[in-house]
Amino acid sequence: MPSLFDKVTAGDLHLANRIVMAPLTRNRSPHAIPLPLTATYYTQRASAGLIITEATAITQQGQGYSDVPGLYGTEQLDGWKKVTHDVHAAGGKIVVQLWHVGRVSHTSLQPDNGAPVAPSAITAKTKTVLIKDGQPAFVETSAPRALRAEELPTLVHSYQTAARNAVETAGFDGVEIHAANGYLLDQFLKTGANQRTDDYGGSIENRARLMLEVTRAVTSAVGGGRTGIRLSPVTKSNDIHDADPQPLFDHVVRELASMNLAYIHIIEGDTGGARALTERPFDYAALKAAYRQAGGKGAWMVNNGYDQHMAETAIQEGDDLVAFGKLYIANPDLVARLKQGGPFNAGNQKTWYGGGAEGFTDYPTL
Ligand code: 8OZ
């Protein structure tokens, strides 16, 4: 019977256990540059089988929050170089999450204070986090403009460049494409945000096109075995919804099956919230079966509200990896704590976004 503590291979990634640190936005990178404190934070958590970094912007246009890191400047890549060096020295594996927020942004964060970009000019009824005087302030997102079709090749290319720089320059073991939680690629996927009438809107095939083009471009730069992708079929995050998510995501994973990805990362239910939504039913077993039937060999990573018992059951029943979010904020030695069945530190939500070492690098180990 496989256990959470057994090693596993995900594409080219050889992982010491099945316990993953989920991507967690922390807003502690002024000017989008990860600080030495960020290296301390991730290195404290290096006993995870895999660390997925906080969402990291591929371009300035992809920025939607204050003080989140990027991958598009030399100093940003240098900041990450220290993170990957220190995590590797501690025996860990780390991939960076490639992020473009699309419409979930604010003009004050955009190049020339312009409008954020989106599949269609539909404002998300959601808030973003701007850091003011070191404190998080939640503000309404700005009205977006629809991307022109001729802008899309450049956009795809910017994912590819970020992926290449992440692996070749910053030293990451791989990348995770953020296609979840109502950000750009999820906006293209879903009917609630995509009303395009060109090849990137309308049918399921058209709405999935940008995400699949991005994934192909990223895998051609760094290899499928170093590429994972995060999906959230029914999340409510950032005012996103789709009229019929099951056939949409079944199509998506069937197309991903041939790309030899390291892993597929699924958020079950509403991100950080309910795992089952009566108004948004979804069959995750059918999704996984669609991927396997299409020949998909990547590791299957599950996430959202897993406790120890649920995680052990998931691995015993054939999932390959479990990602923990809130537990990882408060428990740097989560692997050791799970191994002995707890106890677990309680986290402090007030220090999730912004600030310094408090609530970041000061949680005690056993
Ligand atoms: C919380 C706050 C800001 C961003 C996500 C990148 O939900 C995020 C995020 C989460 O994927």
Mean pLDDT of the chain: 98
Is residue 356 one of the residues assigned to a domain? no
Name 364's Cβ contacts closer than 8 Å, sequence gap at least 6: 345
Name 155's Cβ contacts closer than 8 Å, sequence gap at least 6: 100, 147, 210, 214
Is residue 1 one of the residues assigned to a domain? no
Burial class of residue 153 (count of CB atoms within 10 Å of its CB; 0-12, 13-18, 19+): exposed
The model's confidence at residue 132, banded by pLDDT at 50, 70 and 90, is: confident
Is residue 274 one of the residues assigned to a domain? yes
- Rg of the chain over Cα atoms, rounded to whole angstroms, equals 19
**What percentage of the chain carries pLDDT values higher than 70?**
100
CA of 218 to the centre of ligand 1 (A): 22
Mean pLDDT along residues 238-243: 98
Task: Look up the pTM and report it.
Answer: 0.98
Mean pLDDT along residues 204-219: 99
Is residue 2 one of the residues assigned to a domain? no
Alpha-carbon gap, residue 244 to 268, rounded angstroms:
16
CA of 274 to the centre of ligand 1 (A): 16
Question: pLDDT per residue over 307-323, tens digit each?
Answer: 999 999 999 999 999 99
Nearest atom, ligand 1, residue 129 CA: 3
Question: pLDDT per residue over 335-356, tens digit each?
Answer: 999 999 999 999 999 999 999 9
Domain count, the chain: 1
What is the CB < 6 Å shell around ligand 1? 25, 55, 65, 129, 181, 237, 271
Nearest atom, ligand 1, residue 101 CA: 6
Can you give the pLDDT at residue 222? 98
Enzyme catalytic residues: 183
Can you give the pLDDT at residue 360? 98
| CATH number of domain containing 322 | 3.20.20.70
Ligand 1 atom 5: the closest Cα is on which residue? 181
The model's confidence at residue 76, banded by pLDDT at 50, 70 and 90, is: very high
Ligand 1 atom 10: the closest Cα is on which residue? 25
Q: Which among 52, 131, 181, 351 is the best mutation to test ligand 1's pocket, defined by most ligand atoms within 8 Å of the CB? A: 181
Can you give the pLDDT at residue 205? 98
Is residue 146 one of the residues assigned to a domain? yes
Is residue 221 one of the residues assigned to a domain? yes
Asked if pLDDT for residue 69 goes beyond 90, the answer is yes
The model's confidence at residue 135, banded by pLDDT at 50, 70 and 90, is: confident
Q: Which among 24, 25, 235 is the best mutation to test ligand 1's pocket, defined by most ligand atoms within 8 Å of the CB? A: 25
CA of 297 to the centre of ligand 1 (A): 28
Strand 94-99 relative to strand 263-267, pairing: unpaired
Name 127's Cβ contacts closer than 8 Å, sequence gap at least 6: 138, 139, 140, 141
Residue 98's beta-bridge partner residues? 56, 177
For 76, 104, 110, 202, 334, the CA distances from 239, given in Å and listed in that order, are: 30, 10, 20, 19, 32
Can you give the pLDDT at residue 302? 98
Return the HEC string of the chain.
CCCCCCCEEECCEEECCCEEECCCCCCCCHHHCCCHHHHHHHHHCCCCCEEEEEEEECCCCCCCCCCCCECCCHHHHHHHHHHHHHHHHCCCCEEEEEECCCCCCCHHHCHHHCCCEECCCCCCCCEEEEEECCEEEEEECCCCEECCHHHHHHHHHHHHHHHHHHHHHCCCCEEEEECCCCCHHHHHHCCCCCCCCCCCCCCHHHHHHHHHHHHHHHHHHHCHHHEEEEECCCCCHHHCCCCCHHHHHHHHHHHHHHHCCCEEEEECCCCCCCCCCCCCCCCHHHHHHHHHHCCCCCEEEEECCCCHHHHHHHHHCCCCEEEECHHHHHCCCHHHHHHCCCCCCCCCHHHCCCCCCCCCCCCCCC
Tell me the HSE value of 8 on the side-chain side, using a 13 A CA sphere.
Answer: 26
Can you give the pLDDT at residue 107? 97
Higher pLDDT, 136 or 301: 301
**What percentage of the chain carries pLDDT values higher than 90?**
97
Mean pLDDT along residues 173-201: 99
Asked if pLDDT for residue 134 goes beyond 80, the answer is no
Is residue 289 one of the residues assigned to a domain? yes
What phi, psi does 128 have (nearest 5°)? -115, 170
Mean pLDDT along residues 30-46: 98
Mean pLDDT along residues 65-69: 96
Ligand 1 atom 1: the closest Cα is on which residue? 25
Asked if pLDDT for residue 306 goes beyond 90, the answer is yes
CA of 1 to the centre of ligand 1 (A): 34
Asked if pLDDT for residue 27 goes beyond 80, the answer is yes
**Which structural domain range is residue 167 located in?**
8-351
Handedness of CA 189, 284, 349, 93 (dihedral sign): negative
Is residue 155 one of the residues assigned to a domain? yes
